[in-house]
Amino acid sequence: MKLWEKGISADAAIEAFTVGRDRELDLLLAPFDILGSMAHVIMLESVGLVTREELARLHAALREMYDHAAGPGMVIEEGVEDIHSQVELMLTRQLGDTGKKIHSGRSRNDQVLVDLKLFMRDRIGELADKTNRLAGEFLARSNQYKEILMPGYSHLQVAMPSSFGLWFGAWAESLADDLLFLQGAFRIVNQNPLGSAAGYGSSFPLDRTMTTRLLGFEDLSYNVVYAQMGRGKSERVVSFALANLAATLSKFAFDVCLYMSQNFNFVSLPDELTTGSSIMPHKKNPDVFELIRGKCNKIQGLPYQLTLISNNLPSGYFRDLQVMKEVLLPAFGELGECLDMALYALQNIRVNPSILDDKKYDYLFTVEAVNRLVLAGMPFRDAYREVGRQVTEGEFFPVKTVEHTHEGSIGNLCLEEITRKKEEAFAGFRFEQSRLAIYKLLNYPLPAS
Measure the CA–CA gap between 178 and 421, rounded to whole angstroms. Answer: 11
Residue ranges of the chain assigned to CATH 1.20.200.10: 109-153+163-204+222-357+414-434
Average pLDDT (302-315) is: 90
Close Cβ partners of 253 (under 8 Å, ≥ 6 residues apart): 289, 290, 292, 293, 296, 342
- In Å, what is the CA distance from 402 to each residue of 148, 158, 352, 361? 11, 16, 18, 14
Residue 371 pLDDT exceeds 80: yes
Measure the CA–CA gap between 439 and 367, rounded to whole angstroms. Answer: 59
Q: Is the CATH number 1.20.1050.10 carried by domain 12-104?
A: no
pLDDT digit string, tens, across residues 178-202:
999 999 999 999 999 999 999 899 9
Measure the CA–CA gap between 242 and 236, rounded to whole angstroms. Answer: 10
Residue 357 pLDDT exceeds 90: yes
Domain spanning 109-153+163-204+222-357+414-434: which CATH class is it, in words? Answer: mainly alpha
β-bridge pairing 267-268 and 350-351? antiparallel
Measure the CA–CA gap between 253 and 216, rounded to whole angstroms. Answer: 37
Per-residue model confidence (pLDDT) at position 23: 74
Sheet strands (E) in 282-382? 350-351
pLDDT digit string, tens, across residues 284-298:
888 999 999 999 999
Given a contact cutoff of 8 angstroms between Cβ atoms, the answer to whether 221 and 202 are in contact is: no
Given a contact cutoff of 8 angstroms between Cβ atoms, the answer to whether 335 and 129 are in contact is: no
Residue ranges of the chain assigned to CATH 1.10.275.10: 12-104
Per-residue model confidence (pLDDT) at position 4: 42
Measure the CA–CA gap between 46 and 201, rounded to whole angstroms. Answer: 18
Given a contact cutoff of 8 angstroms between Cβ atoms, the answer to whether 429 and 125 are in contact is: yes
Measure the CA–CA gap between 184 and 431, rounded to whole angstroms. Answer: 13
DSSP summary character for residue 202:
-
pLDDT digit string, tens, across residues 59-113:
999 999 999 897 777 888 888 888 999 999 999 999 999 999 999 999 989 999 9
Measure the CA–CA gap between 116 and 119, rounded to whole angstroms. Answer: 5
28 pLDDT band, cuts 50/70/90, is: very high
Per-residue model confidence (pLDDT) at position 48: 96
**∠ Cα 18 325 301 (to 5°):** 125
Average pLDDT (33-52) is: 97
243 pLDDT band, cuts 50/70/90, is: very high
pLDDT digit string, tens, across residues 211-233:
999 999 999 999 999 998 888 89
Given a contact cutoff of 8 angstroms between Cβ atoms, the answer to whether 87 and 26 are in contact is: no
313 pLDDT band, cuts 50/70/90, is: confident
β-bridge pairing 219-220 and 191-192? parallel
Mean pLDDT of the chain: 92
144 pLDDT band, cuts 50/70/90, is: very high
Residue 164 pLDDT exceeds 90: yes
